[in-house]
Structures are given as structure tokens and as C-alpha cells.
Amino acid sequence: MEPLPTQLRLRELSAELRALLWEVVYDDFQNASRHPIDGGPRYLVDPWRAILYDMHVKRDARMADDFGTEQLPHVAKTRATFEKGDYVAVLGWLQWALRHPKKPFRFAERIERALRTARAAYRVLDNDTIVPNGSHEENRVIEQAFAALAKAEFRGARSHLRKAAQELSAGRNADSVRESVHAVEAVARTLDPNAQTLGPALARLEATTKLNGAMKRGFEALYGFTNTEQGIRHALLEKDAPAVDEADALFMFGASAAFVSYLIGKARAAELLK
């Protein structure tokens, strides 16, 4: 199975993401701790004293008198969750804290920033809910596209689609868009070797496979966008980077994967492929 972009890898937390999320929480723990006047270990104050107490009793169902305010045990326990816990443990902990009435100022914003910086498959919605950035349905479409490109004649298209995923994971959005479109071009040229660009290949497929005209025009419009947005499709030689963000790149990657599967399916139905 080909690797998905990190933005679509549900149930996975990268080492970078774990570190960034823990940084947010650890900084808050530090800000919410004090030294006793008479010496001794640092202790937690609100808001984290209240959040962790409620988590101890209401979430973890532990006895109230077992809760202590000393900072270091809470740091050690929570760090272990972020460092070694699965996605349910980490995101569940954050979800509970995000919904606590005493959550720290701009806590949701800082968690959202960490998720975006690590290009995670999750985002914060309405300041209190962690939601998937993609879906299992989108992932299945992409996996089907890679399976459809498994035959030798589509090796070039498969390489472009794989490269698009790699560029998206690395945050190089314009490069990812270009590679996504190259994948579709490569399939189209395989189906019509005389065509040098996508347009003529789609025209032939429309005539021979009953390709839906509206779908053809829609993808031609997307293809046109990549040609006009400061040369995304071609080498990026301009000084200013193309105005392409992560949402654009994710959409084009998914659309291209779906269209590749569609083209191959239509061609096989018309017996253009054996």
C-alpha cells in the first residue's frame, strides 16, 4: 500500500506532532505552577489544577483524596501519554481539556497551530472539538487509484501520484498540485499515445468511452487553473511562490486520484485497455 499524505493519515500521530502538542501543554503547566514560599517542589495552580482535578475524578474515575497538586508527577504522567499513547489517548486527553470551562486562554488556537504545523490529519473545530481533516472514504478512493495504477503501463502515473503525496506531506503544496495533474496527464497519454497534453486525450476518451462531458469540462477547468496560477504545473521558476495552500493541494490530490480511477475504469469498459 502506498503511503498517504500525513494530512490524511487518520489514527496516526507523528513524532513531530507529539512533540508540538506536548510543548503547548508543558508550557501551560509551567505557567500554572508556583514555588512554595517555604521551599519544596513546585505545585500547580488554576487553571490546570482545576482541569487535572476534574480529569482525575470525572474522567478517570479516581478518588478525590488521591489527587495531589505537586507539578512533577503530573508532568511525568501527561508526558507519557503524549509520548507513548495511541491517538485515542492523546486526542482524548486534549478533547477533554478543550471542553473544560477553565481551559487556558487561546489553548484551542495553540493546539490548532500545532496540528497545522505538523500537517496532521486532525483539526480543532469551534474551539472545543477535534475532528478528522480527511475521511476514510477519501482514503479508500486514493488506495483504489494506486491499485488501478499498479500495471506496468501506468508506472509513470503512479510515480507522479506518489510524489504528489510526498510533496503534500512535506508542505510543498504547489509541487503537490503539479504532480497530481501530471498523474492524470500520464494516464491520459497512456490511453491516447498521440496526445501530448490532457485536453486532446480527454477529447478522444469522450468520443470513445462516453466520458461524461460535464466531468471532462470540470477537470479541464482544474487543469487550466494549474496552468495559470504562476506556472504550478511547470517548473516553479517565478520569484513569488504560487498562491496554493494546503486545502488546494489536498483537493487536487484527491480529485486527481479519483479521476485517474475513473479514466481507467471507463477505458477498460470500452476495451481500450486489456
Q: Which residues contact 195 (CB under 8 A, 6 or more apart)?
A: 188, 189, 201, 204
Q: What is the pLDDT of residue 76?
A: 97
The reply to whether 125 and 160 lie within a common domain is: no
Q: What is the pLDDT of residue 161?
A: 86
The reply to whether 155 and 208 lie within a common domain is: yes
Number of structural domains in the chain: 2
Q: What is the pLDDT of residue 113?
A: 95
Q: What is the pLDDT of residue 235?
A: 40
The reply to whether 122 and 193 lie within a common domain is: no
Helix (H) or strand (E) holding 130: strand 129-132
Does some domain include residue 233? yes
The reply to whether 265 and 140 lie within a common domain is: yes
Residues of the chain predicted below pLDDT 70: 1-3, 134-137, 139, 169, 196-197, 209-210, 222-242, 270-274
Q: What is the pLDDT of residue 125?
A: 78
The reply to whether 51 and 149 lie within a common domain is: no
Q: Which residues contact 210 (CB under 8 A, 6 or more apart)?
A: 266, 270
Final residue before a domain boundary, out of 132, 161, 189: 132
**For position 259, which CATH number holds?**
1.20.120
Q: What is the pLDDT of residue 15?
A: 95
Q: Considering the entire predicted model, what is its pTM?
A: 0.65
Does some domain include residue 1? no
Does some domain include residue 274? no
Q: What is the pLDDT of residue 229?
A: 44
The reply to whether 107 and 193 lie within a common domain is: no
Where in the sequence is the domain holding 182, given as residue range(s)? 136-269
The reply to whether 126 and 153 lie within a common domain is: no
Q: Tell me: the pLDDT tens digits for 46-98?
A: 999 999 999 999 999 999 999 999 999 999 999 999 999 998 899 989 989 99
